[in-house]
Chain A
């Protein structure tokens, strides 16, 4: 079903697709999508995580071949999954993940993106610098050309992605969640730039998931839900915020009862986690910690806000015992564990929900029961006596049933679960028993609406049962909703501490380092 996209629809639309369908195994990622996007405007595409936004963007950009349906760019039909054809029809993509190789210099990376695939020719460095100096002038000055991509700040990398996309004289720009890693201020700059491009006649399709941002930048909006186009493209002026959020969320799912969490509720200890002037070495991705002071008490959720890459990973790995502390001390339940191995901390009641559940939280190829039982394997003692697998499997299935993980058999590999179910599996393991303090890193990232709610309810339940929770998130709304206290990290330090009720403006300023 197609909705006319405004007064200019008589012209050839910049992007037209008809009955697109994509499925991954049993998951229908896109279902019968037909869409016309008028030239010279900014079109927003919104939806929950898992609604199919990225998949649609990939199909339009030729990175993903659809199972059925057609895509026309500026009137030219694109063979399925042909990046080069989409490119030569004038479409360029800016990805959610950075697409410039980290070890390349800026000039090399831009040349890689712009060179015609047939061309194998030899170049001189000076030639590259001359060619690209104008394009990067407004991004970081011409001397940025010899810098390696990995040495650049996130905002500059983001801007370079747009330079890269426009380098091949694109007239249609497709941006997939470009604001995910940006501060509010950097987001404003980006939107300013996009408006300028639109006024020069470039068509822009931007994938977003914050309604605030949609209102700020878009001319039209379309909504995806469960792989279907449920709204639009409609003029932004013609839709109310309420209509939009209804379209995004859909009919309310069955209330998913929160699970009674049997936290250890170790009432005798009040101070569960304490970091005293902790510093650590920088890693390849992040600054190290600079003299962090932090406490988590029983019955509270402490939130950590910050733009990603400001030391949150270092903080969590220091608490988990995965990276070394150079100065200061870490205490768990009053016991010093600064130099203790991770296993010791786990046995002391520390539980973790890692940043990336698919690579750090589970082993994708290992069976469910083994993933679920992982915590029972640690410790040096009793490694060699024979065990009963049946008992391990039974306990795993009981725990997974309790947490409503949907699975067929305990022997299936963990990669066969959906994102929300993987997180339930992780929670079923980490929250099972002996928990005193939970460090939850981005626990709802990539989860759909009901799974997100489920996780948030579980965290609250945990707090009410007497545990302490350290919640690291880049979703301010989530932090505002859950945290009893909120700290902001910037450049490896805690730069601000807030108590509820929170002032969005002040927290945002602290995240950009304005308070430093």
Chain B
């Protein structure tokens, strides 16, 4: 129990340090940190619609973040959430535009299933290469992510482009209003129930099923898992599939929720932010929920900030980078190093 508390404390401390460092950079660059901070609080909580907007951004971060948690649980770095998110959204879009006249619940259902399958496929290719050939999944999921972004760009600029669109960036046609599960605020009871239900299911899967326990063992020590007769490949494939499925689902929720259409390169940071969310959430389901709300608030605030200050939005990427850079620091290692050697007792 104290070990758990210690981990929470050290994670919170590291996040605070990352914020302070970023604030220092802003201060050096001549921004008034106080203004920025009050802007963040307004933009995430107090301003009109800010709290709703926070939840709107929490939803994709949580879904993709839970996918990352699942991956890490079995020891896999699935960092391609962005691409899986995009192809999920694209598949749902193709289904919805292709079947405009269909019965509403059925189309939404089919769209979500299509999104889940697409996300799975995007994640299973690196997953298969990993379990079959030992190909490093950090790089392949990342490359698949770049490819997913190009798929989105192709669809929105090509076959599904809204011909009457005038803006600079390419955007698709809108899906019929009837298909949407939220209004443009991105928050509704349906959406919340869906995301909440997914979080509970993921928690049950990870903590209360044999498959979840198996994943944990594979993640902690695959060699031991193999000796125990666990089919490490099958667990690996299952993990990648589930992880991609959640990101794909996030894409569908984005389309049926706040989006209603897809724009080239929309929400470009959500994939990497979700990795940060999962790490700050200490790779636990409920921790990830808390972290997703927190980073959802930041995301919402960064869109609000231009009203009160001229802070460039990339500052948020910088902050996320800072958190990722520092959040895995192990205080235990530091302390051990100071008091004595970190060596393990060796037979002698």
Contact = CB atoms under 8 A, between A and B. Distances in A.
* A adjacent to B, CB under 8 Å: yes
Interface of A: 24-25, 27, 29, 47, 49-58, 64-65, 67, 81, 176, 207, 224, 320-322, 341-343, 345-347, 352, 354, 359-366, 370, 373-378, 380, 382-387, 389, 392, 419, 446
A362 B227 CA distance: 10
10 contacts: A55-B346, A81-B341, A320-B227, A343-B230, A359-B224, A363-B224, A365-B220, A373-B213, A378-B228, A383-B214
Secondary structure at the A interface, as helix, strand, loop or mixed, is: mixed
Given A322-B226, A341-B231, A346-B228, 12 more contacts: A47-B348, A49-B347, A55-B348, A342-B226, A352-B227, A370-B217, A374-B224, A377-B214, A377-B217, A382-B210, A384-B209, A384-B211
Contacts of A24: 343-345
A446 B224 contact: no
B309 interface: no
B184 interface: no
A478 B228 CA distance: 26
Given A345-B229, A352-B227, A370-B217, A27 B345 contact: yes
Contacts of A65: 340-341
Nearest to B339: A67
Contact of B343 (A57, A64, A207, A392): A64
Interface string B209-225: 11101101100110111
Given A50-B347, A375-B228, A363 B217 contact: yes
A512 B291 CA distance: 62
B217 A366 contact: yes
A55 B214 CA distance: 36
Interface string B182-196: 000000000000000
Q: What 8 A-B pairs come out closest when comparing CB atoms?
A: A54-B348, A363-B221, A346-B229, A53-B348, A363-B220, A342-B229, A24-B345, A343-B229
A54 B216 contact: no
Contacts of A385: 209
Contacts of B340: 65, 67
Interface in B64-114: none
Given A375-B229, A376-B210, A359 B347 contact: no
B227 A361 contact: yes
B297 to A, nearest CB: 33
A81 to B, nearest CB: 7
A260 B152 CA distance: 65
A346 B207 CA distance: 24
Contacts of B208: 386-387, 389
B210 A366 contact: no
B204 interface: yes
A103 B346 CA distance: 25
Nearest to A346: B229
Most buried by A among B211, B214, B340, B348: B348
B345 A207 contact: no
A344 to B, nearest CB: 8
Contacts of A363: 217, 220-221, 224-225
Contacts of B229: 321, 341-343, 345-347, 375, 378
Nearest to A429: B228
B227 A383 contact: no
Given A346-B229, A370-B216, A377-B217, A383 B209 contact: yes
Nearest to A381: B210
Contacts of B228: 342, 346, 374-375, 377-378
A382 B210 CA distance: 8
A58 B213 CA distance: 39
B347 A343 contact: no
Nearest to A30: B348
A374 B344 CA distance: 25
A253 B71 CA distance: 48
Contacts of B209: 383-387
Nearest to B345: A24
A402 to B, nearest CB: 20
A45 to B, nearest CB: 9
A60 to B, nearest CB: 12
Interface in B311-348: 340-341, 343-348
Contact of A374 (B207, B217, B231, B346): B217
B221 to A, nearest CB: 4
A434 to B, nearest CB: 12
A88 B42 CA distance: 65
